[in-house]
Structure 1
Amino acid sequence: MFTEFLRGQAFAIAWLAVMAAGWFGWSQEDPKPRLRGWLGAGSVIGILTAIGFGILVWRNWSTPTALDGRYWVFGLVVLAEAVVIGGGCIALARRDQTRWYGWWIGLCVALHFAPLAWVFEDWSYIALAIVQVIGLLLMLPALRRAEYQTSRWACPWIAVTFLVYALASGGVFLIERGYPY
C-alpha cells in the first residue's frame, strides 16, 4: 500500500494480514494433507503481522486517514460486495454447487479492490486485484474438472496474495517510517 497516511497504511497492512490468516484458515476445509502445515504457518504469520501493525494503528488512531469524510463511500463498496457475494452464494446453493463458494467469494473479494483503489487513492490495489483475478481464472479449468471444494486452491491463492501484499507493504512502511511510537 502506498499512501502518506500512517494510520491508513498500518491499518491496511494489519487488515490484509488478518484476512490472509482467515483465508489460510478457510483453506483447511479440504486441503491436500501435506499442505496443512504450510497453511497453518501462513495463518500464524498473518496474525503476527496483524498484531505488529495493529499496535501502530492503535497508537496513531488520532492521525488523518484517506477515509476522512468518505467513510460512507467505503461502506457502500463493502455493502455492494456483500450483496454480490450473498446473491452469488444463493444462486450456487440453488444449483447445488456449494463447492464453488470459495472460488466465487475469492473472485468477489478480488474485484472489490478496483473501487477501493479509487476510494483510498492507492493504485497498488489494482495490481493486487489483477494478480488475484488472473490466478483464479487460471485455476478455473482444473476446478471445473475436479470434484473437491474450490477452497482447496482458491482460498490459499487469495491468502498468499494477501500475505505477500501485506508483507511487502509492511516492508515499504518500515523502510520509509521505521516503527514509529
Structure 2
Amino acid sequence: MITDFLRDQAVAIAWLALMAAGWFGWSQEDPKPQLRGYLGAGSVVGFLVSVAFGIVVWRNWATPTALEGRYWVFGVVVLAETLLIGIGCIVFARRKQKRWYGWWIALCVSLHFLPLAWVFSDWSYPVLTAVQLIGLFAMLPALRRGTYETSRWACPWIAVTFLVYALLSGALFLGRYGYPF
C-alpha cells in the first residue's frame, strides 16, 4: 500500500501478510508434493511479517486513517465481495464443480481491491489486481484440462502476490518511518 496514513499502510501490510499465510495454507489442499515445504515456509514468513506489522498497528492505532467517516464504505465492499463469493460457490456446488472454489474465490478477492483503490486513494491496488488477474486467467486453460483442485495453482499465486506486495509495501514503510514503536 502506498499512502500518507501510517496506520493504513501498517494494517495493509499486516493483513495481506496474514492473508498470504492463509492462502499458502489453503494451497496445501492438493499441492504437488515437492512444493509442500515452500508453501509451509511461505505461511511462516507471512505470519512473521504480519506479527511484526501488527505490533506497529497496535502501537499506532490512534493515528489518522483514510477510513475516518467512511468505515461503512469499506464494509459495503467486503459485504459485496462476500456475497459474490457465496453466490459463485453455490453455483459451483450445484453444478458439482466444487474444485473451482479456489480459483473463484481468488478471482473475487483480487477484484475487491479495485474499489479499495478508491476507498484508500491508493493506486497500487489496481496494480496488485492486474498482476493477480493476469496469473489467474493465464492458468485457466491448464485448470480446465486438469482434474485436480484449482487451489493447486490459484491459491499459491494469490499467496505469493500478497506476500510480495506486503514485503514491498513493508520495505517502503520501513524506508519512510523506520520501525515506529
The interval holding the TM-score normalised by the smaller chain is over 0.9
Match of 1:159 in 2: 159
Structure 1 residue 91: Cα displacement: 0.1
1:51-90 alignment, distance < 5 Å: 51-90=51-90
Match of 2:132 in 1: 132
The AA in structure 2 aligned to 1:66 is: A
Partners of 1:63 and 1:175 in 2: CA distance = 19
Match of 2:16 in 1: 16
CA shift digits 1:29-72 (9 cap, x unpaired): 00000000000000000000000000000000111111111000
Q: TM-score normalized by structure 1? A: 1.00
Structure 1 residue 149: Cα displacement: 0.1
Match of 1:143 in 2: 143
Question: Which segments of structure 1 move beyond 2 Å, counting only runs of 4 or more?
Answer: none
Q: What secondary structure does 2:31 align onto? A: coil
Match of 1:45 in 2: 45
CA shift digits 1:11-34 (9 cap, x unpaired): 000000000000000000000000
CA shift digits 1:123-149 (9 cap, x unpaired): 000000000011000000000000000
Q: What secondary structure does 2:96 align onto? A: coil
Partners of 1:152 and 1:108 in 2: CA distance = 17
Structure 1 residue 75: Cα displacement: 0.1
Structure 1 residue 166: Cα displacement: 0.1
Match of 1:27 in 2: 27
Partners of 1:68 and 1:175 in 2: CA distance = 25
Count of aligned residue pairs for this structure pair:
181
The AA in structure 2 aligned to 1:135 is: G
Identity of aligned residues (%): 75
Q: What secondary structure does 1:64 align onto? A: coil
Q: What secondary structure does 1:153 align onto? A: helix
Match of 1:179 in 2: 179
Q: What secondary structure does 1:86 align onto? A: helix
The AA in structure 1 aligned to 2:169 is: S
